[in-house]
A and B are shown apart, each in its own frame.
Chain A
Amino acid sequence: DTGVSQNPRHKITKRGQNVTFRCDPISEHNRLYWYRQTLGQGPEFLTYFQNEAQLEKSRLLSDRFSAERPKGSFSTLEIQRTEQGDSAMYLCASSGRKTGGQYFGPGTRLTVT
């Protein structure tokens, strides 16, 4: 399978714990994006990487959120001190062309109890 992969697919955590998600983009894609989707809504942009550089961050990305993309390959999204409001689907996407479609992974569903 050469699509975008994300791990884990599901994560249940207690409030206050830290969680980390991983995204492996399509291998030839140099652009990587993180989105968050809550129930009944479309995805909302969180952050964007071109190669290893994090070039854009949404205001949604509070200081409890941090994303990295070492060596311009896979990316991780960490949420510290999780809150119940962080419960959502976290989607990763990648693209290789400036105006082409972004290809999404299956998402990581986070539930904070």
Chain B
Amino acid sequence: AQKITQTQPGMFVQEKEAVTLDCTYDTSDPSYGLFWYKQPSSGEMIFLIYQGSYDQQNATEGRYSLNFQKARKSANLVISASQLGDSAMYFCAMREVSSGANNLFFGTGTRLTVIP
């Protein structure tokens, strides 16, 4: 089974509007971390936001917020006030902490296009 599922291959959003990128995860590890990365056409993976499984509040970083719904195993990324520079691939990732593994499991990504 896929550990990270991103069901939206592509999304479009009007400039200045908000957009939600979906991510669901699958793990039996009680302690895990969830990450979102942005990958522009240049190829570099840019770390955006992190949510720990025991964190009581949803993570926020500037215009990025993570809508963490533990019971549904979802960790959607919300980008507010979209900008043209937000056009990129977005990847959701997970690290299983209790297992001792250090690697991240990535989804297949969502390509976001911001329309002027």
Contact = CB atoms under 8 A, between A and B. Distances in A.
B50 to A, nearest CB: 5
Interface string A98-109: 111111111101
A33 B44 contact: no
Interface residues of B, number: 25
A107 B40 CA distance: 12
B57 interface: no
B33 A42 contact: no
Contacts of A58: 103
A23 interface: no
Interface residues of A, number: 28
A109 B43 CA distance: 9
Contacts of B106: 42-44
Contacts of A65: none
Contacts, number: 60
Interface string B90-111: 0101010100011111111100
In the complex, the 9 A-B pairs of residues with the closest C-beta atoms, listed nearest first: A42-B106, A45-B103, A104-B45, A101-B47, A106-B44, A48-B102, A107-B43, A42-B91, A43-B106
A86 B24 CA distance: 29
Nearest to A105: B44
Contact of B104 (A41, A43, A98, A106): A43
A104 B37 contact: yes
Contacts of B101: 56
A106 B95 CA distance: 21
Contacts of B44: 104-107
Interface in B54-108: 91, 93, 95, 97, 101-108
B42 interface: yes
Interface string B27-51: 0000001010100001111110010
B50 A100 contact: yes
Given A56-B102, A104-B37, A93 B45 contact: yes
A24 to B, nearest CB: 14
A102 B97 contact: no
Given A31-B102, A58-B103, 4 more contacts: A33-B104, A42-B107, A56-B101, A98-B97
